[in-house]
Amino acid sequence: MTTRLAPCLWLLLISGCSLPWHLLRSVNDLPEYTANAGNWRELEVPMRDGVSLHTQALMPEGAAHAPVVVMRTPYDNDLIFRAPCEMFARYGIGCVVQDVRGRRQSPGDWNPLANEIADGEDLLTWLDGQAFADSIALYGESYLAATALGSMSHASKKVKTLVLVVFGTHLEKSIAERGLMHHELITAWAAYMPGHDTPSGTAEHYRDMLAHRPHLTSDEFVLGRKLDFYRTWLQSELPTAPLWTTGESARFNALPATLTVPVLVVGGFDDPFLASTLELWNGLGSKSSSLLALLPVNHLGGQSGELHQKDVEGQYAFKLPFGWIRHHLLGAPLPFEATGVRSWAQNGSGVKHRDEWPGSVETLDLALSPQLAQRWPCEQRALTVPQPSTPSATPAATVSYRYNPLNPWESEGGARGLAFVIADGKTPGPAKQTWTCRPDVVRFVTETRTTPLTLIGRMSLELTVRSSAPDTAFVAKLVDIDEQGRALHLSDGAATLRQPTAETPTFVDYVPGTSRTVRIDFWPTEWVLQPGHRLGLWVSSSNFPMFALHLNSATPWYRETQFRLAEQTLELGEHSVLRLSLAR
């Protein structure tokens, strides 16, 4: 079943006239219902500036008051909130759902994340005065998690807990990599959410935006309007950009530390917001009473790609949030640990509980050797333990290739994508890799494992390079190669010459032809490399469209209209080292 078909079948299942609530309950191992759902009520809730936002409320049948779950949504699809709300009502828990400013039936201008703190505060202030809401759980997935977190700038005594799924703070970690926009997430989402109403033809708009140069004006050229929020994201390449350090972003980033109520945080190893999710968790003020769950799922909670674990299905949408909210609003027994971290490793089996993630780890350094290790299916050099360096006048061994932006290495899998569900994009997750022996992909491989090895946390690659361009990109991908030579996407990352590390506060000029060491930080993961398998490292200069194409110019790629070829050189041996993070 394809990743696009699975959610469609699920939506079809729950959209009939007779909704199979008991089936949804039983297949997700939830307890018996205790009530019936009442009828939805339409409300208009005033904000501080006089604008009233469209709001709906659902209570258990016959209940004048009850605990309530609060969600604020920008999405046109009612099933995002109606399905969980009507299940909550059957457990004696009401729902309050508000359309965010400028979307659906709420008036105002749509500006992502610009109004969610103030409007969320006003909704909670209004609920403080409503007798029907005994207590509150703020709940949401993706953008709805951002609105839930933003609302907590108002310290309502009614709020007992938050459930935040596949979202986090410090969004610069998810939107781009060293200035290379994650097209499959942000460009696709911008094409899907440009204004008050979701337009038709999102897939065509997305592909047209990718093809237009300069990309900075692709919104106006394709959609017929300027998307100020998207242009601001494009031009905020550095971690020190005002977008990330001032205003609403700064307020969002500061909120987790102020929380005092228990929080359930859910992240996915194949989700583009995982790094932001971990940032939120690590800064959480109520961490000692909260739980982090890390699942091998994509942004929709499904298992895309080649790996599937039976005990993962239903955790993201049902088992975790329903168990947590029933416990904190109704006092029901919690069916899993109340604190710490629950994680399901990719290519592993079962769930592990840790006090922290990744917890205590050990590192293993592997040098990129010039020695040939495999000739099939493509040439692969060895990943070996670095030898002690000695002063030598001998130049470093090198390998070179030519990078042509007009012939990019296309993405297969990974954790940067949402376009697979909204714009016919690439399949995320541990996708099977195509062994195309391209001259612009340099491959390295370890020896065959004889025992399992668990990679956990963030791996990194210190890569010493030279280029004929004044700026360019280097990307790297980790793959799991089995006994038959099947390679699965494990993790990836990128760096540019002018932003060689994630902490680079400003652009660093590069002189073509000189050596520079860049650090590629791979996406966080927990992955079991099984006996008989090898770990592969593939290095190139593109991974499109998960990452924007670098056009080999010192002019930012989104302003550039021309491309140039780049002659790329990797310095091998102790000059380039892969650092693995291993579970103890």
477-495 pLDDT, tens per residue? 999 999 999 999 999 999 9
Contacts of 424 (CB under 8 A, 6+ apart): 4, 203
Residue 107 has what pLDDT? 97
Q: Is the pLDDT of residue 528 over 90?
A: yes
Q: Is the pLDDT of residue 1 over 70?
A: no
Can you count the helices (H) and strands (E) in the chain?
15, 25
pLDDT band for 224, please (50, 70, 90 cuts). Answer: very high
Judgement on whether residues 30 and 141 belong to the same structural domain of the protein: yes
Helix (H) or strand (E) run with residue 267 in it: strand 263-268
Q: Is residue 317 part of a domain?
A: no
pLDDT band for 469, please (50, 70, 90 cuts). Answer: very high
More confident residue, 392 or 150: 150
Q: Is residue 264 part of a domain?
A: no
Range of the domain at 521: 361-583
What token pair was written down for 40? 């939805």
Judgement on whether residues 135 and 66 belong to the same structural domain of the protein: yes
Burial classification of residue 208, based on how many CB atoms lie within 10 Å of its CB (0-12 exposed, 13-18 middle, 19 or more buried):
middle
Q: What is the DSSP letter of 194?
A: S
Judgement on whether residues 106 and 198 belong to the same structural domain of the protein: no
Q: Is the pLDDT of residue 315 over 60?
A: yes
Quickly tell me which residue has 């195309």 as its tokens. 436
> Which of 195, 212, 234 is at the close of a domain?
234
Please, what sign has the CA dihedral across residues 176, 486, 307, 368? negative
Judgement on whether residues 521 and 437 belong to the same structural domain of the protein: yes
Our count of domains for the chain comes to: 3
Q: What is the CATH number of the domain that holds 65?
A: 3.40.50.1820
What token pair was written down for 544? 């499109």
pTM: 0.95
- Note the helical H segments in 331-485: 419-422
pLDDT band for 19, please (50, 70, 90 cuts). Answer: low
Give the model confidence (pLDDT) of 63-90 as tens digits: 999 999 999 999 998 888 999 999 999 9
Judgement on whether residues 544 and 413 belong to the same structural domain of the protein: yes
What token pair was written down for 21? 């609530």
Say if CB 516 and CB 497 are below 8 A apart. Answer: yes
Give the model confidence (pLDDT) of 144-166 as tens digits: 999 999 999 998 999 999 999 99
Q: Is residue 301 part of a domain?
A: no
Q: Is residue 104 part of a domain?
A: yes
From residue 531, alpha-carbon distances to 348, 351, 380, 454 in Å are 12, 20, 20, 11
Contacts of 257 (CB under 8 A, 6+ apart): 283, 284, 285
Say if CB 512 and CB 468 are below 8 A apart. Answer: yes
Rg, the chain, Cα only: 24
Q: Is residue 12 part of a domain?
A: no
Between CA 350 and CA 362 the distance in angstroms is: 22
Q: What is the CATH number of the domain that holds 545?
A: 2.60.120.260
Judgement on whether residues 74 and 183 belong to the same structural domain of the protein: no
More confident residue, 187 or 310: 187
Judgement on whether residues 141 and 188 belong to the same structural domain of the protein: no
Residue 36 has what pLDDT? 96
pLDDT average, residue stretch 308-335:
96
Burial classification of residue 430, based on how many CB atoms lie within 10 Å of its CB (0-12 exposed, 13-18 middle, 19 or more buried):
buried
Judgement on whether residues 49 and 148 belong to the same structural domain of the protein: yes
> Which of 188, 206, 234 is at the close of a domain?
234
Say if CB 526 and CB 294 are below 8 A apart. Answer: yes
Residue 392 has what pLDDT? 57
Q: Is the pLDDT of residue 524 over 80?
A: yes
Quickly tell me which residue has 């390295």 as its tokens. 444
Q: Is residue 287 part of a domain?
A: no
Q: List the one residue out of 257, 256, 258, 236 whose CA is nearest residue 246.
A: 236
Judgement on whether residues 421 and 506 belong to the same structural domain of the protein: yes
Q: Is residue 313 part of a domain?
A: no
Between CA 174 and CA 167 the distance in angstroms is: 9
Q: What is the DSSP letter of 554?
A: S
Judgement on whether residues 206 and 112 belong to the same structural domain of the protein: no
pLDDT band for 393, please (50, 70, 90 cuts). Answer: low
Helix (H) or strand (E) run with residue 181 in it: strand 180-181
From residue 93, alpha-carbon distances to 19, 40, 57, 135, 151 in Å are 18, 13, 11, 10, 20
Residue 12 has what pLDDT? 39
Q: Is the pLDDT of residue 334 over 50?
A: yes
- Note the helical H segments in 212-297: 218-223, 228-234, 242-245, 247-258, 274-282
Between CA 489 and CA 522 the distance in angstroms is: 12
Q: Is residue 288 part of a domain?
A: no
Burial classification of residue 315, based on how many CB atoms lie within 10 Å of its CB (0-12 exposed, 13-18 middle, 19 or more buried):
buried
Q: Is the pLDDT of residue 22 over 60?
A: yes
Judgement on whether residues 505 and 377 belong to the same structural domain of the protein: yes
Average pLDDT, the chain: 94
Judgement on whether residues 178 and 147 belong to the same structural domain of the protein: no
pLDDT band for 4, please (50, 70, 90 cuts). Answer: very low
> Which of 191, 217, 234 is at the close of a domain?
234
